[in-house]
């Protein structure tokens, strides 16, 4: 039955993987009607004959997917740590590198020394690589300033990127990322500073969309993370957590108790953690780039997440130390080859479930009426091809907010 409707643009000529309900949900020879920035109709092209539109854009075959969402990155930072990567390959341990003044503290020094404009300029170059592969939404964390002034400068740089580039940028305050050098013997003092001074200012200036922390034996304890999360929730800010990357501290269960949007890494998560996350709706964000670069052997418990219905997302974790990854599509392949995900789970992990991890699945992550018109046209025949090809930029055309980017 033909549909009578008016719209700005009708996009036709390709199959559509809608990802509604987290499935491929393939519409062969489909059409998408867009009014303003919103999808107002989607279905087979044959049923769109009566749609009146100002413009029609016809693709010559291929596949349309939702815009890709990178829901965990650290794209804003100063300096470079490629020398440390080379040292590790030559057998120098992380502790030896840290003793030489390297590791995360070297990034902290470089970030503190960089102006906001310098941080924006270097991050823009990295972000452009993600955009070239169809990313339409990205999350970026602070956490390399580790003092109030530098953390605020990072968050302002993140907001500036969002205002200047054709991509939605979600900002996350990760001040509880590591011990600042000034607080290396008093990490609790930094937690108190974050809770009592930094977070209220971040909330007042609306510099972050969420608050994150690193719960690990070499970072902050579950009790300290609870303090940060309590302060964030009191300010009306949702929370996320780096958890179970190197050891089992049940940080994922802690995140679930605070109804966290996501718990990320999760190599050492248990079935108990999975049950808690399922009950709270907390998304498991898996980060194969760091797993690969650190040569880890403990895989995230994908089977527990499947068993208990925990949504699984994938992200690049783009950062200077453990995942210098600038290809979200490569993470699709690594999620399958390293973690045992299916191609459908992987694509869902960078669309609908990634949107869930950012708290915006009501308007992003799948192609359906009422959601924003963010989608990508790929010159491939089936969705699994996006997962199959290793590296390189597959030719694609990105539609962001209803317009060709």
The reply to whether 242 sits in an annotated binding site is yes
Q: Between β-strands 38-44 and 26-35, what pairing exists: parallel, antiparallel or unpaired?
A: antiparallel
The reply to whether 388 sits in an annotated binding site is no
Residue 192 CB contacts under 8 Å (≥ 6 apart), including other chains? 227
CA neighbor of 299 nearest in space, from 339, 264, 263: 339
**CA 391, CA 379: separation in Å to the nearest integer?**
15
The reply to whether 319 sits in an annotated binding site is yes
For 310, the token pair is 């925990």
CA neighbor of 69 nearest in space, from 174, 170, 165: 170
The reply to whether 299 sits in an annotated binding site is no
CA neighbor of 181 nearest in space, from 85, 103, 88: 103
**CA 375, CA 66: separation in Å to the nearest integer?**
4
The reply to whether 74 sits in an annotated binding site is yes
The reply to whether 245 sits in an annotated binding site is yes
Conformation bin of residue 223: beta by default, left when phi > 0, alpha when psi is -120 to 50:
alpha
Residue 325 CB contacts under 8 Å (≥ 6 apart), including other chains? 289, 316, 317, 318, 331
The reply to whether 217 sits in an annotated binding site is no
Annotated binding site for Fe(3+): 72, 74, 242, 317
Annotated binding site for Zn(2+): 72, 74, 242, 317
Annotated binding site for N-formimidoyl-L-glutamate: 144, 319, 321
Annotated binding site for 4-imidazolone-5-propanoate: 81, 144, 177, 245, 322
Annotated binding site: 72, 74, 81, 144, 177, 242, 245, 317, 319, 321-322
């Amino acid at each position: 039955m033909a549909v009578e409707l008016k719209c700005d643009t009708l996009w036709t000529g390709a199959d559509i993987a809608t990802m509604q309900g987290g499935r491929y949900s393939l519409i062969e020879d489909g059409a998408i009607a867009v009014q303003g920035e919103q999808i107002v109709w989607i279905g087979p092209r044959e049923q769109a004959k009566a749609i009146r539109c100002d413009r029609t854009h016809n693709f010559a075959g291929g596949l349309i997917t939702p815009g890709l969402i990178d829901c965990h990155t650290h794209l804003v930072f100063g300096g470079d740590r490629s020398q440390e990567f080379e040292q590790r390959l030559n057998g120098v341990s992380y502790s030896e590198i840290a003793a030489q003044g390297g590791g995360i503290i070297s990034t902290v020094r470089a970030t503190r020394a960089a102006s906001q404009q310098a941080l924006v300029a270097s991050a823009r170059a990295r972000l452009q690589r993600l955009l070239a592969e169809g990313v339409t939404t990205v999350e970026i964390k602070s956490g390399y300033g580790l003092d109030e002034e530098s953390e605020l400068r990072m968050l302002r740089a993140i907001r500036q990127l969002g205002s200047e580039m054709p991509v939605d940028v979600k900002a996350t305050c990760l001040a509880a990322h590591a011990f600042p050098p000034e607080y290396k013997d008093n990490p609790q003092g930094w937690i108190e500073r974050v809770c009592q001074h930094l977070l209220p200012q971040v909330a007042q200036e609306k510099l972050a969309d969420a608050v994150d922390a690193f719960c690990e034996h070499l970072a902050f304890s579950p009790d300290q993370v609870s303090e940060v999360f309590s302060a964030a929730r009191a300010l009306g800010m949702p929370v996320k957590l780096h958890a179970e990357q190197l050891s089992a501290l049940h940080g994922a269960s802690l995140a679930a108790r605070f109804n966290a949007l996501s718990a990320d890494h999760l190599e050492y998560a248990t079935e108990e953690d999975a049950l808690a996350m399922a009950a709270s709706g907390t998304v498991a964000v898996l980060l194969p780039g760091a797993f690969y670069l650190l040569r880890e052997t403990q895989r995230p418990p994908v089977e527990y997440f499947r068993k208990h219905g925990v949504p699984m997302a994938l992200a690049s974790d783009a950062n200077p130390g453990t995942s210098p990854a600038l290809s979200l599509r490569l993470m699709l392949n690594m999620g399958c080859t390293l973690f045992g995900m299916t191609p459908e789970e992987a694509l869902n992990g960078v669309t609908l479930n990634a949107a869930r991890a950012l708290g915006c699945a009501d308007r992003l992550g799948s192609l359906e009426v009422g959601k924003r018109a963010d989608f990508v046209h790929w010159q491939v025949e089936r969705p699994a091809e996006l997962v199959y090809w290793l590296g390189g930029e597959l030719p694609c055309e990105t539609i962001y907010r209803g317009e060709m980017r």
